[in-house]
A and B are shown apart, each in its own frame.
Chain A
């Protein structure tokens, strides 16, 4: 459900970039979404398609979603492992002293604009 709020913030940011760069229209926006960012790409896309219809510069903008893999680092054995598969416990040494390296991002990567 929070995908909509995130889409609104994304639209606001992209509109600001568009005005700053004096572009007429935006063809597409590429976002990078981490695997464990709590954003579901399918929902995000639906919200995007609904929300941009009310926009002007962004009216026909397509959304491209790229995934960022979630990687966790283990402080006990120093190894990295895929978060989605193993969660908080290190599969190598069973330690709980781990932290997320990547995968929590919700980034606006780039836009394709018509000048």
Chain B
């Protein structure tokens, strides 16, 4: 005779992912690999920013890149061609974000020997990637000038989970009604601890500041505070 019973769960859907993410974070810490999760909307300049930043940093530290997309491997190829650092392409199979398990698979595809910094280029999207902890040590997002300064108000979660907001395409500021100061204020409203750095990936403006931010975060993360 079949018996039907109700089992109470009362658990957040994200609980298992959060657990996986914490485990991955601990494993990467053990290996000395700082994982940076880079998010943004499509076309904000993630790949170009990465190429510039990697070229500014690759003589100082070991870098590896994971490119996440729904399909194609154009980004991984582009990164490798432009920087020479190892890059793997992850396909999310139609999903709009990466979770900790998918990130783990990506990490497994990298040779972590001599890698200090692993960068995860998340799927271009301002909603879903913010929901799923990837196991990264820090989260960074790019907002580009043409997208508008009101995005922190429209996508609150994305801005509240980010440690750093890069404002890209500063070279076209004059052509758009983008208010940089107002944007900074909106970011602070969502996340008082978030830092904001204006950059232009095309001309290289501000890339040194981003590179320095990364180095500083790695040093802090390693527990060394003698960074000069």
Known: A107-B13, A108-B10. A2 touches B5 (CB 8 A): no
Evaluate contact between B9 and A111: CB separation under 8 angstroms: yes
Chain A interface SS verdict (over half): mixed
Within 8 A of A (CB), among B87-129: 94-97, 99, 125, 127-128
Evaluate contact between B9 and A109: CB separation under 8 angstroms: yes
Residues of A whose CB lies within 8 Å of any CB of B are: 1-2, 4-6, 8-10, 12-14, 16-17, 21, 23-24, 27, 31, 38, 96, 105-115
Whether a CB of chain A sits under 8 angstroms from the CB of B85 is no
Evaluate contact between A4 and B16: CB separation under 8 angstroms: no
Task: Name B96's contact: one of A2, A21, A106, A112 (CB within 8 Å).
Answer: A2
Known: A13-B11, A13-B13, A31-B13. A2 touches B97 (CB 8 A): yes
Evaluate contact between B6 and A114: CB separation under 8 angstroms: no
Evaluate contact between B3 and A115: CB separation under 8 angstroms: yes
Evaluate contact between B94 and A4: CB separation under 8 angstroms: yes
Residue of A nearest to B94 (CB): A4
Evaluate contact between B11 and A113: CB separation under 8 angstroms: no
User: How far apart are A105's CB and chain B's nearest CB, in angstroms?
Assistant: 7
Residue of B nearest to A8 (CB): B95
Task: Name B131's contact: one of A38, A105, A109 (CB within 8 Å).
Answer: A38
Evaluate contact between B96 and A9: CB separation under 8 angstroms: no
